[in-house]
Structure 1
Protein backbone atom coordinates (compact mmCIF):
# COMPACT_ATOMS: atom_id res chain seq x y z
CA UNK A 1 0.00 0.00 0.00
CA UNK A 2 1.31 3.43 -0.97
CA UNK A 3 0.31 6.39 1.15
CA UNK A 4 1.59 9.83 2.08
CA UNK A 5 2.17 11.19 5.56
CA UNK A 6 1.50 14.92 5.89
CA UNK A 7 2.85 15.16 9.41
CA UNK A 8 3.24 13.21 12.65
CA UNK A 9 1.32 14.48 15.66
CA UNK A 10 0.89 13.54 19.30
CA UNK A 11 -0.59 15.04 22.44
CA UNK A 12 0.65 14.41 25.93
CA UNK A 13 1.32 15.88 29.33
CA UNK A 14 4.43 16.57 31.37
CA UNK A 15 4.41 16.94 35.15
CA UNK A 16 6.35 20.00 36.23
CA UNK A 17 7.93 19.93 39.67
CA UNK A 18 8.28 23.71 39.51
CA UNK A 19 4.65 24.39 38.62
CA UNK A 20 3.32 21.43 40.63
CA UNK A 21 0.95 20.48 37.82
CA UNK A 22 0.69 18.62 34.55
CA UNK A 23 1.36 20.75 31.49
CA UNK A 24 -0.37 19.50 28.37
CA UNK A 25 1.47 19.82 25.07
CA UNK A 26 1.12 18.98 21.39
CA UNK A 27 4.06 17.96 19.22
CA UNK A 28 3.97 17.99 15.41
CA UNK A 29 6.86 16.57 13.40
CA UNK A 30 7.59 16.37 9.66
CA UNK A 31 7.17 13.06 7.80
CA UNK A 32 10.97 12.64 7.69
CA UNK A 33 11.00 12.32 11.49
CA UNK A 34 9.97 8.64 11.30
CA UNK A 35 13.02 7.37 9.45
CA UNK A 36 15.60 9.91 10.54
CA UNK A 37 18.20 9.77 13.27
CA UNK A 38 19.05 13.48 12.96
CA UNK A 39 18.03 16.18 15.40
CA UNK A 40 15.47 18.80 14.39
CA UNK A 41 15.09 22.55 14.94
CA UNK A 42 12.28 23.41 17.34
CA UNK A 43 9.42 25.90 17.38
CA UNK A 44 8.16 26.23 20.96
CA UNK A 45 4.88 28.12 21.34
CA UNK A 46 2.91 29.41 24.32
CA UNK A 47 -0.90 29.12 24.31
CA UNK A 48 -0.72 25.81 22.47
CA UNK A 49 -4.43 25.27 23.19
CA UNK A 50 -5.05 27.64 20.27
CA UNK A 51 -3.50 25.20 17.78
CA UNK A 52 -6.79 24.45 16.01
CA UNK A 53 -8.14 28.00 16.07
CA UNK A 54 -4.88 29.23 14.52
CA UNK A 55 -5.21 26.65 11.71
CA UNK A 56 -1.70 25.45 12.51
CA UNK A 57 -2.23 21.91 11.28
CA UNK A 58 -2.72 23.25 7.75
CA UNK A 59 -0.06 25.97 8.06
CA UNK A 60 2.61 23.63 9.43
CA UNK A 61 1.83 20.92 6.87
CA UNK A 62 2.27 23.47 4.10
CA UNK A 63 5.55 24.59 5.68
CA UNK A 64 6.81 20.99 5.65
CA UNK A 65 6.16 20.90 1.90
CA UNK A 66 8.08 24.13 1.32
CA UNK A 67 11.56 23.21 0.08
CA UNK A 68 12.84 26.62 1.13
CA UNK A 69 12.20 25.86 4.80
CA UNK A 70 14.04 23.55 7.18
CA UNK A 71 11.97 20.71 8.66
CA UNK A 72 11.23 21.49 12.30
CA UNK A 73 9.38 20.24 15.34
CA UNK A 74 6.40 22.27 16.53
CA UNK A 75 5.70 22.04 20.26
CA UNK A 76 2.73 23.91 21.69
CA UNK A 77 2.54 24.31 25.46
CA UNK A 78 -1.05 24.57 26.65
CA UNK A 79 -2.02 26.84 29.51
CA UNK A 80 -4.98 26.83 31.87
CA UNK A 81 -6.50 28.99 34.59
CA UNK A 82 -2.95 29.80 35.73
CA UNK A 83 -2.19 31.80 32.57
CA UNK A 84 -2.23 35.24 34.19
CA UNK A 85 0.09 33.96 36.91
CA UNK A 86 2.57 31.93 34.85
CA UNK A 87 2.94 34.26 31.87
CA UNK A 88 4.74 37.54 32.36
CA UNK A 89 8.29 38.54 33.29
CA UNK A 90 10.39 36.24 35.46
CA UNK A 91 10.81 37.42 39.02
CA UNK A 92 8.91 40.68 38.45
CA UNK A 93 5.13 40.60 38.77
CA UNK A 94 3.21 43.51 37.33
CA UNK A 95 1.79 46.21 39.61
CA UNK A 96 -1.42 44.20 40.10
CA UNK A 97 0.49 41.06 41.10
CA UNK A 98 -0.09 39.30 37.80
CA UNK A 99 2.72 37.05 36.59
CA UNK A 100 3.83 36.11 40.10
CA UNK A 101 4.62 32.56 38.93
CA UNK A 102 6.44 33.58 35.72
CA UNK A 103 9.77 32.63 37.29
CA UNK A 104 8.47 29.11 37.95
CA UNK A 105 7.15 28.86 34.39
CA UNK A 106 10.56 29.91 33.08
CA UNK A 107 12.22 27.22 35.19
CA UNK A 108 9.75 24.65 33.86
CA UNK A 109 10.56 25.56 30.26
CA UNK A 110 14.32 25.86 30.60
CA UNK A 111 15.21 23.23 33.19
CA UNK A 112 12.50 20.60 32.76
CA UNK A 113 10.79 20.69 29.37
CA UNK A 114 13.66 21.52 27.01
CA UNK A 115 15.87 18.69 28.38
CA UNK A 116 12.85 16.37 28.01
CA UNK A 117 12.42 17.33 24.34
CA UNK A 118 16.12 16.85 23.63
CA UNK A 119 16.10 13.42 25.24
CA UNK A 120 12.81 12.03 23.94
CA UNK A 121 12.21 13.73 20.57
CA UNK A 122 15.62 14.38 19.00
CA UNK A 123 15.27 18.14 19.48
CA UNK A 124 18.29 20.11 18.30
CA UNK A 125 21.24 20.60 20.62
CA UNK A 126 22.12 23.89 18.87
CA UNK A 127 20.66 26.98 20.56
CA UNK A 128 20.48 28.78 17.21
CA UNK A 129 17.83 26.24 16.09
CA UNK A 130 15.41 26.93 18.92
CA UNK A 131 12.61 29.47 18.36
CA UNK A 132 10.09 30.48 21.04
CA UNK A 133 6.94 32.35 20.02
CA UNK A 134 3.72 33.57 21.57
CA UNK A 135 0.75 35.85 21.17
CA UNK A 136 -0.23 38.73 23.46
CA UNK A 137 0.75 37.84 27.05
CA UNK A 138 2.17 34.55 25.78
CA UNK A 139 4.42 36.61 23.53
CA UNK A 140 5.70 38.65 26.47
CA UNK A 141 6.50 35.37 28.24
CA UNK A 142 8.35 33.96 25.22
CA UNK A 143 10.40 37.14 24.82
CA UNK A 144 11.26 37.20 28.52
CA UNK A 145 12.44 33.58 28.54
CA UNK A 146 14.51 33.86 25.35
CA UNK A 147 16.14 37.16 26.31
CA UNK A 148 17.14 35.84 29.71
CA UNK A 149 18.25 32.40 28.48
CA UNK A 150 20.30 33.05 25.32
CA UNK A 151 22.20 29.82 25.90
CA UNK A 152 19.05 27.88 24.99
CA UNK A 153 17.48 29.89 22.15
CA UNK A 154 18.32 31.64 18.90
CA UNK A 155 15.09 33.49 18.14
CA UNK A 156 12.03 35.00 19.82
CA UNK A 157 8.83 35.93 18.00
CA UNK A 158 5.97 37.97 19.43
CA UNK A 159 2.54 38.52 17.91
CA UNK A 160 0.80 41.59 19.41
CA UNK A 161 2.92 41.41 22.55
CA UNK A 162 1.76 42.66 25.94
CA UNK A 163 4.74 44.94 26.33
CA UNK A 164 2.62 47.37 28.37
CA UNK A 165 3.35 45.09 31.38
CA UNK A 166 4.46 47.53 34.05
CA UNK A 167 5.73 47.95 37.62
CA UNK A 168 3.28 50.72 38.44
CA UNK A 169 0.18 52.29 36.96
CA UNK A 170 0.76 54.58 33.98
CA UNK A 171 1.10 58.27 34.70
CA UNK A 172 1.71 61.12 32.27
CA UNK A 173 4.25 62.46 34.76
CA UNK A 174 6.55 59.70 33.48
CA UNK A 175 7.02 60.80 29.83
CA UNK A 176 9.55 58.05 29.05
CA UNK A 177 7.20 55.45 30.58
CA UNK A 178 10.05 53.47 32.17
CA UNK A 179 7.59 51.55 34.32
CA UNK A 180 7.23 49.10 31.42
CA UNK A 181 9.19 46.12 32.71
CA UNK A 182 10.72 44.90 29.44
CA UNK A 183 12.54 48.17 28.84
CA UNK A 184 14.72 47.96 31.92
CA UNK A 185 15.00 44.20 31.50
CA UNK A 186 16.67 44.77 28.13
CA UNK A 187 18.72 47.72 29.37
CA UNK A 188 20.09 45.77 32.33
CA UNK A 189 20.53 42.49 30.45
CA UNK A 190 23.46 41.20 28.43
CA UNK A 191 23.93 41.54 24.68
CA UNK A 192 23.82 38.15 22.93
CA UNK A 193 24.91 38.61 19.30
CA UNK A 194 23.33 35.40 18.03
CA UNK A 195 19.78 36.34 19.11
CA UNK A 196 17.17 37.53 16.61
CA UNK A 197 13.72 38.97 17.26
CA UNK A 198 10.51 39.09 15.21
CA UNK A 199 7.65 41.38 16.21
CA UNK A 200 4.20 41.77 14.70
CA UNK A 201 1.42 44.26 15.41
CA UNK A 202 -1.91 44.99 13.77
CA UNK A 203 -3.02 48.55 13.20
CA UNK A 204 -6.33 47.62 14.86
CA UNK A 205 -4.79 45.69 17.75
CA UNK A 206 -6.60 48.08 20.06
CA UNK A 207 -7.92 51.64 20.25
CA UNK A 208 -6.08 52.80 23.38
CA UNK A 209 -3.57 55.63 22.99
CA UNK A 210 -2.56 56.51 26.55
CA UNK A 211 -0.05 59.23 25.61
CA UNK A 212 -2.29 60.72 22.89
CA UNK A 213 0.44 60.67 20.22
CA UNK A 214 -1.80 59.23 17.53
CA UNK A 215 -0.26 55.73 17.72
CA UNK A 216 -2.07 52.86 19.45
CA UNK A 217 -0.34 51.54 22.56
CA UNK A 218 0.52 48.07 21.23
CA UNK A 219 2.52 49.57 18.36
CA UNK A 220 4.04 52.24 20.61
CA UNK A 221 5.11 49.62 23.16
CA UNK A 222 6.62 47.37 20.51
CA UNK A 223 8.52 50.19 18.81
CA UNK A 224 9.86 51.40 22.16
CA UNK A 225 11.12 47.89 22.89
CA UNK A 226 12.77 47.78 19.46
CA UNK A 227 14.52 51.08 20.25
CA UNK A 228 15.76 49.63 23.54
CA UNK A 229 17.09 46.55 21.74
CA UNK A 230 18.86 48.82 19.26
CA UNK A 231 20.55 50.65 22.13
CA UNK A 232 21.70 47.27 23.39
CA UNK A 233 23.32 46.54 20.01
CA UNK A 234 20.74 44.62 17.96
CA UNK A 235 20.30 45.92 14.40
CA UNK A 236 16.97 47.01 12.96
CA UNK A 237 16.42 45.89 10.33
CA UNK A 238 18.71 42.93 10.73
CA UNK A 239 18.60 41.12 14.04
CA UNK A 240 15.20 42.70 14.61
CA UNK A 241 12.27 42.24 12.22
CA UNK A 242 8.95 44.05 12.51
CA UNK A 243 5.75 43.31 10.60
CA UNK A 244 2.75 45.63 10.79
CA UNK A 245 -0.54 44.31 9.43
CA UNK A 246 -2.94 46.99 8.12
CA UNK A 247 -6.33 46.30 9.68
CA UNK A 248 -4.86 43.51 11.77
CA UNK A 249 -6.63 42.88 15.08
CA UNK A 250 -5.68 41.41 18.43
CA UNK A 251 -7.18 38.07 17.50
CA UNK A 252 -6.47 34.55 16.31
CA UNK A 253 -7.45 35.09 12.63
CA UNK A 254 -4.91 37.93 12.31
CA UNK A 255 -2.14 35.90 13.94
CA UNK A 256 -3.02 32.85 11.86
CA UNK A 257 -2.84 34.90 8.68
CA UNK A 258 0.70 36.09 9.36
CA UNK A 259 1.99 32.77 10.74
CA UNK A 260 3.30 31.47 7.38
CA UNK A 261 5.37 34.64 6.98
CA UNK A 262 6.75 34.14 10.48
CA UNK A 263 7.79 30.56 9.65
CA UNK A 264 9.76 31.80 6.64
CA UNK A 265 11.71 34.02 9.02
CA UNK A 266 12.10 31.33 11.66
CA UNK A 267 13.27 28.37 9.57
CA UNK A 268 14.85 29.40 6.25
CA UNK A 269 16.83 26.54 4.77
CA UNK A 270 20.56 26.99 5.17
CA UNK A 271 22.46 26.57 1.90
CA UNK A 272 25.56 24.94 3.32
CA UNK A 273 24.56 23.79 6.79
CA UNK A 274 22.96 20.47 7.63
CA UNK A 275 20.70 19.78 10.59
CA UNK A 276 22.89 18.77 13.53
CA UNK A 277 23.56 15.10 14.06
Structure 2
Protein backbone atom coordinates (compact mmCIF):
# COMPACT_ATOMS: atom_id res chain seq x y z
CA UNK A 1 0.00 0.00 0.00
CA UNK A 2 2.81 2.38 0.94
CA UNK A 3 4.63 1.61 -2.29
CA UNK A 4 1.48 2.28 -4.33
CA UNK A 5 0.94 5.56 -2.50
CA UNK A 6 4.57 6.52 -3.14
CA UNK A 7 4.15 5.73 -6.82
CA UNK A 8 1.18 8.10 -6.97
CA UNK A 9 2.66 10.91 -4.86
CA UNK A 10 6.11 11.13 -6.50
CA UNK A 11 4.86 11.98 -10.02
CA UNK A 12 2.54 14.61 -8.54
CA UNK A 13 5.40 16.17 -6.56
CA UNK A 14 7.63 16.09 -9.64
CA UNK A 15 4.98 17.84 -11.72
CA UNK A 16 4.55 20.45 -9.01
CA UNK A 17 8.29 21.12 -8.88
CA UNK A 18 8.55 21.34 -12.63
CA UNK A 19 5.62 23.74 -12.74
CA UNK A 20 7.31 25.84 -10.09
CA UNK A 21 10.47 25.99 -12.19
CA UNK A 22 8.51 27.12 -15.22
CA UNK A 23 7.01 29.97 -13.22
CA UNK A 24 10.37 31.53 -12.40
CA UNK A 25 11.71 34.64 -14.05
CA UNK A 26 14.41 33.66 -16.52
CA UNK A 27 17.51 35.63 -17.50
CA UNK A 28 19.90 34.78 -20.29
CA UNK A 29 22.57 36.43 -22.39
CA UNK A 30 22.26 36.61 -26.16
CA UNK A 31 23.68 38.45 -29.14
CA UNK A 32 22.53 39.84 -32.47
CA UNK A 33 24.52 41.14 -35.41
CA UNK A 34 23.34 44.54 -36.61
CA UNK A 35 23.89 45.37 -40.25
CA UNK A 36 23.01 48.99 -39.47
CA UNK A 37 25.63 49.36 -36.74
CA UNK A 38 28.03 46.88 -38.36
CA UNK A 39 28.75 45.11 -35.09
CA UNK A 40 27.53 42.37 -32.76
CA UNK A 41 25.23 43.70 -30.04
CA UNK A 42 25.03 41.89 -26.72
CA UNK A 43 21.62 41.46 -25.12
CA UNK A 44 20.36 40.48 -21.69
CA UNK A 45 16.92 38.90 -21.96
CA UNK A 46 14.65 38.66 -18.92
CA UNK A 47 11.29 36.95 -19.19
CA UNK A 48 8.34 36.06 -17.02
CA UNK A 49 6.66 32.72 -17.87
CA UNK A 50 5.09 32.61 -21.31
CA UNK A 51 1.29 32.99 -21.06
CA UNK A 52 -1.02 30.39 -22.59
CA UNK A 53 -1.84 32.88 -25.32
CA UNK A 54 1.54 34.25 -26.37
CA UNK A 55 -0.05 37.38 -27.82
CA UNK A 56 -0.63 38.42 -24.18
CA UNK A 57 3.15 38.87 -23.84
CA UNK A 58 4.44 42.44 -23.53
CA UNK A 59 7.83 43.74 -24.66
CA UNK A 60 10.16 46.20 -22.94
CA UNK A 61 13.20 47.41 -24.89
CA UNK A 62 15.74 48.81 -22.46
CA UNK A 63 18.87 50.82 -23.22
CA UNK A 64 22.13 50.32 -21.29
CA UNK A 65 21.45 46.62 -20.84
CA UNK A 66 24.96 46.10 -19.48
CA UNK A 67 23.72 47.72 -16.26
CA UNK A 68 20.60 45.62 -15.60
CA UNK A 69 22.06 44.24 -12.37
CA UNK A 70 22.58 47.76 -11.01
CA UNK A 71 19.00 48.61 -11.94
CA UNK A 72 17.82 45.42 -10.17
CA UNK A 73 15.24 44.92 -12.87
CA UNK A 74 15.15 41.12 -12.70
CA UNK A 75 14.40 41.04 -8.97
CA UNK A 76 11.91 43.89 -9.21
CA UNK A 77 10.11 42.28 -12.16
CA UNK A 78 10.04 38.94 -10.33
CA UNK A 79 8.51 40.52 -7.23
CA UNK A 80 5.86 42.46 -9.14
CA UNK A 81 4.91 39.46 -11.26
CA UNK A 82 4.55 37.16 -8.26
CA UNK A 83 2.28 39.75 -6.65
CA UNK A 84 0.23 39.80 -9.88
CA UNK A 85 0.86 43.51 -10.30
CA UNK A 86 2.19 43.30 -13.86
CA UNK A 87 1.34 41.40 -17.03
CA UNK A 88 3.59 38.80 -18.68
CA UNK A 89 6.73 40.59 -19.79
CA UNK A 90 9.76 40.08 -22.01
CA UNK A 91 12.61 42.50 -21.36
CA UNK A 92 15.27 42.87 -24.04
CA UNK A 93 18.09 44.92 -22.52
CA UNK A 94 20.52 46.16 -25.16
CA UNK A 95 24.15 46.47 -24.10
CA UNK A 96 25.64 49.78 -25.20
CA UNK A 97 28.52 49.75 -27.64
CA UNK A 98 29.72 53.34 -27.85
CA UNK A 99 26.85 55.04 -26.06
CA UNK A 100 28.17 58.54 -26.80
CA UNK A 101 27.82 57.79 -30.53
CA UNK A 102 24.75 55.54 -30.48
CA UNK A 103 22.56 57.48 -28.05
CA UNK A 104 21.20 60.84 -29.05
CA UNK A 105 18.73 62.35 -31.50
CA UNK A 106 18.81 60.64 -34.88
CA UNK A 107 20.27 62.90 -37.55
CA UNK A 108 21.14 65.68 -35.09
CA UNK A 109 24.55 65.24 -33.41
CA UNK A 110 25.33 67.67 -30.61
CA UNK A 111 27.97 70.39 -30.78
CA UNK A 112 30.69 67.84 -29.94
CA UNK A 113 29.38 65.44 -32.63
CA UNK A 114 28.06 63.05 -29.97
CA UNK A 115 25.12 61.00 -31.22
CA UNK A 116 26.64 60.68 -34.69
CA UNK A 117 25.28 57.11 -35.03
CA UNK A 118 21.91 57.68 -33.32
CA UNK A 119 20.07 57.29 -36.62
CA UNK A 120 21.75 53.92 -37.19
CA UNK A 121 20.88 52.82 -33.65
CA UNK A 122 17.27 53.84 -34.31
CA UNK A 123 17.30 51.68 -37.45
CA UNK A 124 18.77 48.75 -35.49
CA UNK A 125 15.93 48.94 -32.95
CA UNK A 126 13.12 49.33 -35.47
CA UNK A 127 14.37 47.15 -38.33
CA UNK A 128 16.28 44.38 -36.57
CA UNK A 129 15.72 44.02 -32.84
CA UNK A 130 11.93 43.95 -32.92
CA UNK A 131 11.86 41.04 -35.37
CA UNK A 132 14.56 39.27 -33.35
CA UNK A 133 12.39 39.49 -30.21
CA UNK A 134 9.39 38.06 -32.06
CA UNK A 135 11.36 35.15 -33.46
CA UNK A 136 13.03 34.48 -30.12
CA UNK A 137 9.69 34.07 -28.36
CA UNK A 138 7.46 32.87 -31.17
CA UNK A 139 5.18 35.87 -30.58
CA UNK A 140 3.61 37.17 -33.78
CA UNK A 141 2.46 40.41 -32.18
CA UNK A 142 3.17 41.69 -28.67
CA UNK A 143 0.30 42.97 -26.58
CA UNK A 144 2.22 46.21 -26.01
CA UNK A 145 5.69 47.54 -26.77
CA UNK A 146 7.52 49.94 -24.47
CA UNK A 147 10.99 51.46 -24.73
CA UNK A 148 12.91 52.99 -21.83
CA UNK A 149 16.31 54.22 -20.75
CA UNK A 150 18.28 56.28 -18.25
CA UNK A 151 20.24 59.48 -18.89
CA UNK A 152 21.52 59.43 -22.51
CA UNK A 153 19.72 56.10 -22.88
CA UNK A 154 16.52 57.90 -21.91
CA UNK A 155 17.07 60.57 -24.55
CA UNK A 156 17.59 57.81 -27.11
CA UNK A 157 14.48 55.92 -25.99
CA UNK A 158 12.32 59.03 -26.28
CA UNK A 159 13.63 59.84 -29.76
CA UNK A 160 13.04 56.30 -31.02
CA UNK A 161 9.54 56.19 -29.51
CA UNK A 162 8.60 59.51 -31.13
CA UNK A 163 9.93 58.29 -34.49
CA UNK A 164 8.13 54.93 -34.32
CA UNK A 165 4.87 55.51 -32.51
CA UNK A 166 3.20 53.31 -35.11
CA UNK A 167 4.84 50.39 -33.33
CA UNK A 168 5.83 51.62 -29.85
CA UNK A 169 3.03 52.30 -27.36
CA UNK A 170 4.79 53.84 -24.37
CA UNK A 171 8.12 55.39 -23.43
CA UNK A 172 9.85 55.66 -20.06
CA UNK A 173 12.63 58.18 -19.43
CA UNK A 174 14.71 58.15 -16.25
CA UNK A 175 16.67 61.41 -15.89
CA UNK A 176 16.72 62.01 -19.63
CA UNK A 177 19.57 64.04 -21.13
CA UNK A 178 17.28 66.66 -22.60
CA UNK A 179 20.03 69.26 -22.12
CA UNK A 180 21.44 67.76 -25.34
CA UNK A 181 22.33 70.83 -27.38
CA UNK A 182 23.88 72.08 -30.61
CA UNK A 183 25.86 74.89 -28.97
CA UNK A 184 28.10 75.15 -25.94
CA UNK A 185 26.36 76.89 -23.04
CA UNK A 186 29.45 79.04 -22.54
CA UNK A 187 28.87 80.69 -25.91
CA UNK A 188 27.34 84.16 -25.87
CA UNK A 189 24.69 83.14 -28.41
CA UNK A 190 23.47 80.03 -26.55
CA UNK A 191 19.76 80.06 -25.66
CA UNK A 192 17.67 77.32 -24.07
CA UNK A 193 14.66 78.03 -26.25
CA UNK A 194 16.50 77.35 -29.51
CA UNK A 195 19.58 75.20 -28.78
CA UNK A 196 18.21 72.13 -26.97
CA UNK A 197 18.02 69.64 -29.82
CA UNK A 198 15.24 67.31 -28.67
CA UNK A 199 12.98 70.10 -27.47
CA UNK A 200 13.35 71.90 -30.79
CA UNK A 201 12.64 68.69 -32.68
CA UNK A 202 9.36 68.17 -30.84
CA UNK A 203 8.33 71.82 -31.14
CA UNK A 204 8.81 71.76 -34.92
CA UNK A 205 7.42 68.26 -35.47
CA UNK A 206 4.10 67.86 -37.25
CA UNK A 207 3.68 64.33 -35.94
CA UNK A 208 0.84 63.45 -33.60
CA UNK A 209 2.14 60.17 -32.21
CA UNK A 210 -0.18 57.97 -30.18
CA UNK A 211 2.20 57.54 -27.28
CA UNK A 212 1.93 57.65 -23.52
CA UNK A 213 4.85 59.08 -21.57
CA UNK A 214 6.53 58.46 -18.20
CA UNK A 215 9.30 60.78 -17.01
CA UNK A 216 11.42 60.81 -13.87
CA UNK A 217 13.90 63.36 -12.52
CA UNK A 218 15.50 63.85 -9.11
CA UNK A 219 16.20 67.13 -7.35
CA UNK A 220 19.77 66.19 -6.40
CA UNK A 221 21.01 64.82 -9.69
CA UNK A 222 23.43 67.64 -10.44
CA UNK A 223 24.58 71.11 -9.47
CA UNK A 224 23.85 72.60 -12.90
CA UNK A 225 21.30 75.43 -12.97
CA UNK A 226 21.65 77.36 -16.24
CA UNK A 227 18.81 79.79 -15.58
CA UNK A 228 19.65 80.27 -11.88
CA UNK A 229 16.10 79.52 -10.73
CA UNK A 230 17.17 77.16 -7.94
CA UNK A 231 16.00 74.08 -9.87
CA UNK A 232 18.53 71.63 -11.33
CA UNK A 233 18.74 71.48 -15.11
CA UNK A 234 17.58 67.86 -15.43
CA UNK A 235 14.29 68.79 -13.76
CA UNK A 236 13.92 72.01 -15.76
CA UNK A 237 14.71 70.32 -19.08
CA UNK A 238 12.26 67.49 -18.43
CA UNK A 239 9.49 69.85 -17.34
CA UNK A 240 10.08 72.02 -20.42
CA UNK A 241 9.72 68.98 -22.68
CA UNK A 242 6.53 67.92 -20.90
CA UNK A 243 5.13 71.42 -21.42
CA UNK A 244 5.92 71.28 -25.13
CA UNK A 245 4.19 67.91 -25.51
CA UNK A 246 1.13 69.18 -23.65
CA UNK A 247 0.99 72.35 -25.74
CA UNK A 248 1.00 70.29 -28.92
CA UNK A 249 -2.13 68.45 -27.71
CA UNK A 250 -0.85 65.15 -29.06
CA UNK A 251 -2.36 63.23 -26.14
CA UNK A 252 -4.64 63.78 -23.14
CA UNK A 253 -2.82 65.31 -20.12
CA UNK A 254 -3.36 62.07 -18.22
CA UNK A 255 -1.18 60.21 -20.72
CA UNK A 256 1.89 62.05 -19.41
CA UNK A 257 3.32 61.10 -16.02
CA UNK A 258 6.13 63.10 -14.44
CA UNK A 259 7.66 61.88 -11.19
CA UNK A 260 10.07 64.04 -9.21
CA UNK A 261 11.77 63.00 -5.97
CA UNK A 262 13.53 65.41 -3.57
CA UNK A 263 16.45 63.06 -2.80
CA UNK A 264 16.85 61.58 -6.28
CA UNK A 265 20.38 61.43 -7.67
CA UNK A 266 21.74 60.59 -11.11
CA UNK A 267 22.42 56.96 -10.30
CA UNK A 268 20.97 53.46 -10.47
CA UNK A 269 20.10 53.44 -6.79
CA UNK A 270 17.64 56.29 -7.39
CA UNK A 271 16.34 54.88 -10.67
CA UNK A 272 15.74 51.43 -9.19
CA UNK A 273 13.61 52.99 -6.43
CA UNK A 274 11.11 54.33 -8.97
CA UNK A 275 11.40 51.38 -11.36
CA UNK A 276 8.46 49.49 -9.75
CA UNK A 277 6.21 52.51 -10.33
CA UNK A 278 7.27 52.63 -13.96
CA UNK A 279 6.72 48.91 -14.55
CA UNK A 280 3.28 49.02 -12.97
CA UNK A 281 2.42 52.11 -15.04
CA UNK A 282 3.63 50.42 -18.23
CA UNK A 283 2.45 46.85 -17.68
CA UNK A 284 0.07 46.92 -14.72
CA UNK A 285 -2.82 44.50 -14.50
Residue in 2 that maps onto 1:18: 36
User: Any idea what SS the aligned residue of 1:201 has?
Assistant: strand
TM-score (structure 1 length as normaliser): 0.90
The question of 1:121 aligning with 2:137 is answered yes
1:31 Cα deviation from its structure 2 partner: 2.1
Sort the Cα spacing of 1:109 and 1:63 in 2 relative to 1 into closer, same or farther, 3 A. Answer: same
Gaps of 5+ in 2: 1-13
Aligned residues: 266
Sort the Cα spacing of 1:202 and 1:92 in 2 relative to 1 into closer, same or farther, 3 A. Answer: same
Higher CA-based Rg: 2
Residue in 2 that maps onto 1:275: none
Provide the C-alpha distance between the structure 2 equivalents of 1:184 and 1:130, rounded to a whole number of angstroms: 26
2:245 aligned to which of 221, 229, 233: 229
1:59 aligned to which of 76, 93, 103: 76
Provide the C-alpha distance between the structure 2 equivalents of 1:24 and 1:230, rounded to a whole number of angstroms: 36
Residue in 2 that maps onto 1:153: 168
Residue in 1 that maps onto 2:26: 8
User: Any idea what SS the aligned residue of 1:248 has?
Assistant: coil
Deviations 1:173-198 (A, max 9, x none): 55553210111211222443521010
The question of 1:169 aligning with 2:187 is answered no
The question of 1:104 aligning with 2:123 is answered no
Judge which range, 182-191 or 104-113, deviates more. 182-191
CA contact (8 A) 1:42 1:123 kept: no
Judge which range, 225-234 or 132-141, deviates more. 225-234
Judge which range, 113-122 or 164-173, deviates more. 164-173
Deviations 1:41-85 (A, max 9, x none): 1011000111111111210101221323211111100013x1100
CA contact (8 A) 1:158 1:199 kept: yes
Provide the C-alpha distance between the structure 2 equivalents of 1:124 and 1:184, rounded to a whole number of angstroms: 36
Moved over 6 A (4+): none
Deviations 1:200-220 (A, max 9, x none): 001101111011111110001
CA contact (8 A) 2:56 2:88 kept: no
Structure holding more helix per residue: 2
Correspondences of 1:7-86 after superposition (within 5 Å) = 7-33=25-51, 37-80=54-97, 82-86=98-102
Residue in 1 that maps onto 2:272: 256
Provide the C-alpha distance between the structure 2 equivalents of 1:37 and 1:152, rounded to a whole number of angstroms: 18
1:9 Cα deviation from its structure 2 partner: 2.2
Sort the Cα spacing of 1:266 and 1:162 in 2 relative to 1 into closer, same or farther, 3 A. Answer: same
Provide the C-alpha distance between the structure 2 equivalents of 1:197 and 1:150, rounded to a whole number of angstroms: 12
